[in-house]
Chain A
Amino acid sequence: MDVLTDNFSTFGDGFLGTVELTVYASLLALALGFVMASFRVAPVGSLRVFGAVWVAVLRNTPLTLLFFAVLLGLPRFGLVLPFEVFAVLALGCYTSAFICEALRSGINTVPTGQGEAARSLGMTFSQTLSGVVLPQAFRSVISPVGSTLIALAKNSAIAGAFSVTELLGTYKTLNELGYSIIWTFVWIALGYLIITLAISAVFNILEKRWGVAR
């Protein structure tokens, strides 16, 4: 118990770091995933190809490798940003590929006839997507998107290895101070649990509210 009470501010900083990473990267992943999913079902061939390549590259690259590429690669091209921002970029882009695929599977659950009906009313592609297809697709992807964001929260631990303040990274400091490594990890695990359970709770509410309204 001493580990926690003595180092509350260290844990607190780490916890807040992870929360920040998770929130910003989630927002980026949701926005990019939404755009990429739209690309992948667009009537324009080049957009579909772009979306497919985006997903193929990001989904199939190990996240650690992606962190190296972003944190060490981008500065070489003159793009120098705080490590926190790089970490959000890496996490957000990586997760956007999974969000995109979840959304796309949701889009496929909407009967094609409804899209045809919308188009035959004279609605454009984007009107059909935003007014008819996506609102129904969202309902069937609430749970997989929640799982993806939980994975994102846990994946954010990798950022600690790149000197970003986050929860897992606190063990190094505390270990050097001679605290019990086991208890340190127990409190860290509890910290992650608070974050992931909070995400689960939010998505459970969303699913109750929107999931079955047909």
Chain B
Amino acid sequence: MAVDPLIELRDVNKYYGELHVLQDIDLTVGKGEVVVVIGPSGSGKSTLCRTINRLETIQSGQIRLDGQPLPEEGKALAQLRSEVGMVFQSFNLFAHKTVLQNVSLGQVKVRGRKKDEADQRSRELLERVGLASQAAKYPAQLSGGQQQRVAIARALAMDPKVMLFDEPTSALDPEMINEVLEVMQQLARDGMTMVVVTHEMGFARSAANRVVFMADGRVVEDRAPEDFFTHPESERARDFLSKILKH
């Protein structure tokens, strides 16, 4: 890819005690690219996603965001995280705040926006994810799919350069998966740079520029989706695809 690199990982290694969860990871994500990371559970794909905004620290290697190396803890790291939106498997909405407050909180605390201005922006984003009518409710009053769409709006409210999705549909009932995927598809069409850890092969096929296949802490394949799904090069990927695509 000849585009501007936005995320660069070089020789990244991470251990949990003895377990070598990320092994010599090299990965570049260009501006506007949508990269889907797939692989069997325990392959390190979620960990990879979480290292990009330093929710997980690494033991060696380098991670750069827009040319800048990731800072250590502190103000600089907080600043960087505000540029990287993150959506979690378990939504992680703030349970004591309404939907509107969830989306506004970061804007007020981090971006220093006035409350009215933040609420205005929040309503626009809630409209965009189809939840404008739910603004006054608490997270527990929403379905899983609705909560995840709020979480996406909350991340977008910071106007991030890149969005990370850590298995965003894995905790959802089947009929709610599509409403979340549609929001993500729309984001991809709007040109957002996205790293998506998922098992949704349909999304990978239709929205991704590249598919990164991970197994046992390594990047095994990194290719265009159609190529990958029709002609996987590695035995490991063929085996994985045969297991998930059969049904």
- Residues of A at under 8 Å CB distance from B? 43, 111, 113-114, 116-124, 127, 131-132, 135-136, 139, 213-214
Contacts and interface: CB of A to CB of B under 8 A. Distances in A.
B142 interface: no
Given A120-B53, A122-B81, A124-B78, 16 more contacts: A113-B92, A114-B94, A116-B92, A117-B92, A117-B154, A118-B105, A119-B78, A120-B84, A121-B106, A121-B155, A122-B78, A122-B110, A123-B109, A132-B94, A214-B138, A214-B140
Contacts of A213: 96
B55 interface: yes
A119 B94 contact: no
B96 A135 contact: yes
Contacts, number: 76
B185 interface: no
Interface in B50-79: 53, 55, 73, 75, 78-79
For A111, A114, A139, the residue with the greatest tally of chain B CB atoms inside 10 Å of its CB is A114
Interface residues of B, number: 31
Query: What is the predominant secondary structure among interface residues of chain A facing chain B?
Result: helix
Interface in B121-160: 138, 140, 151, 154-155, 158
A113 B85 CA distance: 14
B73 A43 contact: yes
A49 to B, nearest CB: 17
Contacts of B140: 214
Contacts of B106: 118, 121-123
A124 B91 CA distance: 20
A127 B109 contact: yes
Interface in B81-109: 81-86, 88, 90-96, 105-106, 109
A33 B243 CA distance: 54
A122 B158 contact: yes
A139 B97 CA distance: 13
A43 B110 CA distance: 19
Given A120-B86, A121-B158, A136 B81 contact: no
Contacts of B88: 113, 116-117
Nearest to B55: A116
Interface of B: 53, 55, 73, 75, 78-86, 88, 90-96, 105-106, 109-110, 138, 140, 151, 154-155, 158
Contacts of B90: 111, 113
Contacts of A139: 96
A118 B78 CA distance: 10
Contacts of B82: 121-122
A114 B134 CA distance: 20
A123 to B, nearest CB: 6
A117 B81 contact: no
Nearest to A112: B92
Nearest to B95: A214
B243 to A, nearest CB: 29
Contacts of A121: 81-82, 105-106, 109-110, 154-155, 158
B96 to A, nearest CB: 5
Given A123-B109, A127-B109, A135-B96, A117 B138 contact: no
Given A123-B106, A124-B78, A114 B92 contact: yes
Contacts of A136: 95-96
For A116, A121, A123, the residue with the greatest tally of chain B CB atoms inside 10 Å of its CB is A121
A103 to B, nearest CB: 16
Contacts of B96: 135-136, 139, 213-214
Contacts of B92: 111, 113-114, 116-117
A97 to B, nearest CB: 27
A120 to B, nearest CB: 4
B101 to A, nearest CB: 10
Contacts of A113: 88, 90-92
